[in-house]
């Protein structure tokens, strides 16, 4: 063409879907499907490892998939439409490790190679009359986390004077704690605690020590009070401080007798906090971790209080029913997700963000600060890298109704999804709980399931993790995408099911 000056495009910068067609910069495309960027250009995206298509696999249609990194291997946990969870790395991968027929999703976190699972039925509440489960990765069926304490049916322990010893004069109350194969110490039991008025010159012989009917109990531990003045003893056997007895462990679940001998000054390790522990941890919509504590979050059944249950430090199954909770008073929006950033625990619902921090006291005393009353996060809306939510120590990548944001304690503007604002605005908010986001830090890509579930939005950030330099692309599918995960660092696994024609 005469007098035409050619336009050289040195870099291809992906999809631009904001404003009208005349708003598209020359180095972007108004539509950009099924390609990936390479240095100096683009190419057709690679084939995808589709995990499950119902006609072609032994596992029915899949609703959720997570990467499960064990201590020495890696596998996938897969939830099908019948409420079965499978471990693809177990010795019997087509045998469910947990079945709850009404389960449509589950919260998931990994601690010490164990998988903790919280079933959900509506993605807003914890399942009524359901609990958090623990799975050890060995193919053996998951069981309820925590554990039942000794009961009178397991044995009503008695205490009597033994041979010459040092148990100090006064009333002593004795109890038993079961220790499970995951290291959890149960509440103190049995229902009837043993008592003895010691003379001060003998040991104490304990008989009929409870034996747990549960195979996950591997040992038992004796607890006792310090000497109580008989004239002041109230008879309330659970109204005094308990301590673990030195050399009071029974390293089996068989023996029914034990002799203990101690001075009161040797009773140092407090066990009273066990009295208020959950024996079964109520299910929530999500699981997470904060400062070596496990978190479970949910909207309570009364639909008036959003609550985060917080375990004791370094005891992921030990949740105190009284002091181990963070409650958003008067907030009837379901908590969607919680995430630690630096040393702060951020609590999100779909439209709000709160912050709290460990103050060295019990979680019920932690101050809660409302940080943003207009922006929150979706259920699976914080970028996950392998099994760890969050991208690094400095920021989070968050999906909410308004777009995709970098979060550093506040939401950064312009939003990370600035270039694809039109596409994001077309999302169906009623389907927003189906968004999932993963961050591939090796290939430097963000993968997001869009709510219509036949699109994965891909953001390549090799040129910079910011709104200007990210390069967006759409990967489209004929199947319904139900879940994604990263497998072996940088392999995208897609769970999908055929859409009926």
CB 117 within 8 A of CB 133: yes
pLDDT given at position 473: 96
Whose tokens are 């008592």? That residue is 195
Residue with token string 């063409």: 1
* Distance from C-alpha of 383 to C-alpha of 390, rounded to nearest angstrom: 6
pLDDT at 390: 45
Separation of CA 304 from chain center? 23
Per-residue pLDDT, 58: 65
Six-digit token pair at 50? 């589709």
pLDDT at 301: 59
Whole-angstrom CA distances from 22 to 17, 29, 309 are: 11, 11, 51
What pLDDT was estimated at residue 1? 56
pLDDT tens track, the chain, 501 positions: 566 666 666 788 999 999 988 899 988 999 999 999 887 778 899 876 655 534 445 677 889 999 999 998 999 999 999 999 999 999 988 899 999 999 999 999 999 999 999 999 887 777 889 999 999 999 999 999 999 999 999 999 999 999 999 999 999 999 999 999 999 999 999 999 999 999 999 999 999 999 999 999 999 999 999 999 999 999 999 999 999 999 999 999 999 999 999 999 999 999 999 999 999 999 999 999 999 999 999 866 555 678 999 999 999 999 999 999 999 876 668 899 999 999 999 999 999 999 999 999 999 999 999 999 999 999 999 998 654 444 445 899 999 999 999 999 999 999 999 999 999 998 887 788 889 999 998 899 999 998 777 899 999 999 999 999 999 999 998 888 999 998 877 788 888 777 765
Write the DSSP string, 134-180. EE-SSSSPPEESS-PPP-GGG---EEEEEEEEEEPSEEEEEEEEEEE
Query: In this structure, are residues 18 and 464 in contact, taking their beta carbons and an 8 Å threshold?
Result: no
Q: 39: alpha, beta or left, given left = phi > 0 and alpha = psi -120 to 50?
A: beta
What are the structure tokens assigned to 186, written together?
């149960």
CA-to-CA distance for 429 and 179, rounded, in angstroms? Answer: 46
pLDDT computed for residue 391 by the predictor: 43
* Architecture field, domain 49-146+279-497: 7 Propeller (2.130)
CB 172 within 8 A of CB 191: no
DSSP letter at 266 equals G
The domains of the chain are located at 49-146+279-497, 152-276
pTM for the predicted model, two decimal places: 0.93
* Residue 231 exposed, middle or buried by CB count within 10 Å (0-12, 13-18, 19+): exposed
pLDDT of residue 304: 61
The Cα–Cα gap between 236 and 239 comes to: 5
Interatomic CA distance for residues 299 and 124, integer angstroms = 7
Cα gap 292→252, rounded to integer Å: 28
For residues 30 and 24, is the Cβ–Cβ distance under 8 A?
A: yes
For residue 342, give every residue at least 6 positions away whose Cβ sits within 8 Å of its Cβ, in sequence order, or none. 393, 409
Environment class of residue 357 by beta-carbon count within 10 Å: exposed (0-12), middle (13-18) or buried (19+)? middle
């Amino acid at each position: 063409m005469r007098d035409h000056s050619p336009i050289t495009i040195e870099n291809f910068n992906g999809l631009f879907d904001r404003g009208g067609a005349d708003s598209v910069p020359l180095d972007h495309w108004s539509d950009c499907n099924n390609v990936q960027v390479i240095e100096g250009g683009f190419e057709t995206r690679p084939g995808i490892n589709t995990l499950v298509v119902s006609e072609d696999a032994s596992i029915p249609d899949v609703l959720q998939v997570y990467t499960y990194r064990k201590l020495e291997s890696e596998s996938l946990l897969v939830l099908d439409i019948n409420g079965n969870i499978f471990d693809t790395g177990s010795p019997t991968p087509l045998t469910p490790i947990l079945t709850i027929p009404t389960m449509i999703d589950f919260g998931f976190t990994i601690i010490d190679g164990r998988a903790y699972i919280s079933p959900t039925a509506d993605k807003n509440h914890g399942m009524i009359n359901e609990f958090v489960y623990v799975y050890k990765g060995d193919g053996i069926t998951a069981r309820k986390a925590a554990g039942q304490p000794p009961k009178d049916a397991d044995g009503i322990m008695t205490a009597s004077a033994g041979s010459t010893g040092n148990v100090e004069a006064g009333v002593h109350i004795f109890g038993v704690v079961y220790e499970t194969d995951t290291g959890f110490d149960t509440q103190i039991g049995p229902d009837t605690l043993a008592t003895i008025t010691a003379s001060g010159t003998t040991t104490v012989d304990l008989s009929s020590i409870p034996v747990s009917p549960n195979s996950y109990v591997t040992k038992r531990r004796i607890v006792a009070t310090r000497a109580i003045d008989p004239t002041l003893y109230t008879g309330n056997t659970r109204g005094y401080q308990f301590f673990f007895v030195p050399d009071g462990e029974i390293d089996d679940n068989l023996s029914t007798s034990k002799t203990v001998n101690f001075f009161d000054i040797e009773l140092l390790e407090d066990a009273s906090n066990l009295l208020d522990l959950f024996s079964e941890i109520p299910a929530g919509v999500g699981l997470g971790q904060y400062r070596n504590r496990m978190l479970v979050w949910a909207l309570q059944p009364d639909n008036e209080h959003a609550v985060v249950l917080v375990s004791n430090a370094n005891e992921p199954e030990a949740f105190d029913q009284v002091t181990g909770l963070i409650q958003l008073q008067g907030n009837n929006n379901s908590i969607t997700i919680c995430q630690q950033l630096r040393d702060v625990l951020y609590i999100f619902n779909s439209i709000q963000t709160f912050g709290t921090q460990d103050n060295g006291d019990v979680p019920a005393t932690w101050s809660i600060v409302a940080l943003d009353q207009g922006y929150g996060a979706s259920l699976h809306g914080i970028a996950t890298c392998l099994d760890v939510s969050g991208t690094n120590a400095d920021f989070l990548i968050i999906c909410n109704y308004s777009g995709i944001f970098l979060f550093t304690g506040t939401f950064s503007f312009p939003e990370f999804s600035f270039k694809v604002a039109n596409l994001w605005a077309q999302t169906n908010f009623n389907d927003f709980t189906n968004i999932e986001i993963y961050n591939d830090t090796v290939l430097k890509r963000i993968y997001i399931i869009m709510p219509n579930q036949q699109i994965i939005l891909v953001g390549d950030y090799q040129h910079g993790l910011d709104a200007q330099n990210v390069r967006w692309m759409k990967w489209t599918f004929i199947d319904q995408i139900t879940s994604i995960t990263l497998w072996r660092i940088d392999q995208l696994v897609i769970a999908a099911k055929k859409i009926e024609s």
